[in-house]
Each structure stands twice: as structure tokens, then as C-alpha cells.
Chain A
């Protein structure tokens, strides 16, 4: 056996062993193919989140008693571990409630007085598209669209619309509809060449591949804890210091200021400037535990596992007569996420029957990306989405394929 093959096998994920870390898999017996919506949580994360309530329960950065200090230490060390996981510094990480809030923070707080355009794509999740559309509706900014090719990839020829009037290029890392990545390197370069900032929606990217915020070159990167084995209710906005300084205040309140009088407010610098009020300490601690968990498994291993699963998933779907896959069928261009339809069976029906027949959890509809699904040629009722993660196995894909074969014969 060649040495590289042996190394790959050694490094491969043992999904069967990992599954024992996820209590829900054992208690529900579900084949969970809905990780793009939210992932399951390993026991380590659940325990870490509970540890805040069991061992601390206080607020950070305000009081000076021992429980408060312990909370502060845990909260800030969590910030550091999460930032490190994403290749950033702790000062670059703002805690938010989720990706949606992080994206809103940037789109709604940026100054558009000098540059009016926000460039995005039709493939974006509503969390990004709607704040931009709202800015346009209010007359604050104008929205411009990059082109999308029939295979779901970005038309790089359309990058030329990024010009000196562009304030922000807001784009996905990986879409939640096709699992395909945007050509971020080229987009970041085009944006920076034009003097525009870049906001990356990393909700479907950060959980599935190694992220290095520094190397990415983007000005902002948003992601959620719950899509990467972390708790719900916690998200992050990574930002470069100079980029944060271009943002106005968003939600203001306790701990966002240095001093305040009725005449003048002196705001803190990021990240505290954007973290108003008591924070989700338990969520931050849980997310840090999730980052540690994923690091122990190895993000490269997860990415490799997902590519392998994507190939099997696509082959399984392609073998069903009358099936259609949205986006490129090339697994090397995807995470383990496939949106598809079966001829003659409504997407909701497919998902409901998969659950009834084989306890397979799928998502159906337009996946909070109605415009994107239309751009991909999906019908009004959308499609079915199977999205896998580190805990999914070949056996589950086989069961999925059998169930889909049966449903397709309806």
C-alpha cells in the first residue's frame, strides 16, 4: 500500500466512532441529513454549555466577584479559541446571536455616503440578501448582482461591475443551496482593487473546511455556532480592525461605551463596541468547545470525509430515474450538500416520506434562498436538500438511496 494511501486512511474520519459523541443520534435513531440547517451537538459541547450554568452563572466584564471573574475568563478564553479556530485574533471577533445578525450588523452599519453600491449574488441566503434589499428600499444603497452560470457558479466575467462606487461586496463562502464555493480569492481581489470592503457569509463554509481569516483576505466573515456542532444562539463576526472602524454603531447598550454623558458618548472599539448587553456566555463557551472538538477531528479530515460523501450522495441521486441535481454535479466543487428533485413527487412529499419510511431527516423548500433557487431553475415549491457532516456514514447514504428509489417510483 503506498505511503500516502496509508496516511490518508490513518487520517480518515471514523464516523461510526464519532457518532457515539452525539447523543441525539443514539436516542432518535435518525439518519440526519439536515446539517446545513443545523448540526447535531456532541456531548462535549452540551457539557461545556451546561458548565456555565452549573459552575458560573454570572456576568462578565461588570462585576468583580469570583464567579464574575471566572465567567469573564471563560468568555474571553472562548473568544480566543474560536478566533484561533478561524485563523483570526481575539480582537477581531464580535459575538452575535447568529450569522444573520452578523450580516445585518455589517450591511446596516456601513457608511454608504461616499460609495453607494453593494454587490452581491442572487444565490445568497435571505439573511444576506434581505438586509441589502432593505438598504436599497430605504435609498441608502443600491444593489448590484454578479452573474450566475447555469451550473450554479459565479460568472467571474461579471466581477467587472465592482467599481469605485462599490462600498461592499457581500457574498457567500459556500451556498446553502448547492454547496458550491464562491471564487473568493478573485472576488476579494476585485473588491479590494476597487477599494470596496468584502463581507463573506461563512455559515456554510467555516464548519466544513479549514478557515484562515487572515489568508482569506476578506474584511468581514460571519458564521454561526449551531452549524458547526456548537449551540444555537451564538454566532460570530470576524472583522479587520480598520474595517470595524468603518462601521457605525448597531445595537447599543451596556458595555459598548467608554464614557457617556448627555452631551457625548465615547464608544469602545471593536469587538466590545458591537456587543451590547449581557452576552450569551454559555453559547460562547459551548462554541469554543465545538471548535476544540472539530480541531481534534481535524478540519482537513472533515473536508476530505465530506468530499467523499458528496461523491457517493451525488452518485446515489443520479442513479434515480427522473432526478435532477441543482448546481454542478462535480463533487470536487461541493461540500456534502446536494439539492435535488424527483420527477412527479413534490419536494415536501419526498422529505416527509423519507422521514416516515427510513427516519431520514431532509430539508425541503427553497432553503431561505428563494431568489437563489429560482436562479438555479428550481420550481416554486423548491427542492429537497441532503446535507451531511462528519457523523454521516456510507451505510446511511445507501439507506438514503434505497428510500429515494422507492419514493421516485411513486
Chain B
């Protein structure tokens, strides 16, 4: 089923009776919900209750044992990895621990989705699939996004040189840089001091 273009109030994510077990332990048990464009949903739960699993399942990073998942109107339950890349290009995710690439600089981390997502590359070069987006455009966009999270002075640093809060903000910048239609945040303020948490929330 081809993905549908999103418009206000159009369905973005839908879970239908989704269940997932890890070695007999249920992580998701017949979860059903729907998220429409413009809406914000917050999931509360104790540690180990399946919040991270829910987000990863929504992007097709983990396959459910049963049930159906729709992302931007397309069923992704049994979709191949190659097909999923195009859909994932329309979503951004902040992982719980940031999941920054530790061998890349902050600038390279934030530029990564712009340089590697096939759909974005093709959009930048409609006649040249596989070619990269113009370096200047990428550069400007990266600097703009890092400025937004107040980290524009860290371009050349490695993730290990930043504090936990700063790394989390770089993760947010990487999730935002493609201006995705869907943003998933996995515990964006977990383990941070209240001042840094407030900075991230604002």
C-alpha cells in the first residue's frame, strides 16, 4: 500500500492490537492507539514497561509478534528494511541515550540524516538518485539546527567531549534537522538535572 501524503488531522501512526514478547516476557500486550497530524502523545510508565520498545516498533526497528502497525498510512508490519527507509525519512527520533555516532563530530552527526537518507538525497537531486545533497545546503541546515539547540560552538567536537545534557540536545538537533512530520522522543530528560531538563523542554 503506497504511503499517503500527510495533511492536518491525517493519521500518522496507528497501532492495532500490537503484541511483542522478549523470551516469554511481554513488552507490548495488544497495544492499540492512533496518532494524528498535529497531535502530541506522551507515554508514561515505569522503567522496563516497554516505552522504548513502543517507539522502536513504531519506526519498524523492531517487528511485532502480532498486530498491525501503520506509519503515514502505510502498513509497516511486514515491510522490508529498504522500503522502510523512505518512511523513516519522514520521522525523527531521539534515542534514550542519544545514540550519537561516537566516531563522528557533532557536525557530522547532525548532518548524517541529510547525507544518508535516500528520500532526501533524491529530493535534493531528482534526476540523480544516490547523489548527496549540496554540501552548502547541508552545512547551513546543520548550523541552523545546532544554533536552535544552542550548541553552534560544538561543531568540531566529538560526542565524548560533551556533557550528557549537551549530547541529548545534539540528539534533538539530529532528529529535527530534516524537519520531520513525526518526532519521537525517548525519555528526552531522563537522568538530567532540572535546569538542563528545562532547557531541553523549552
Q: Do A and B bind each other?
A: no
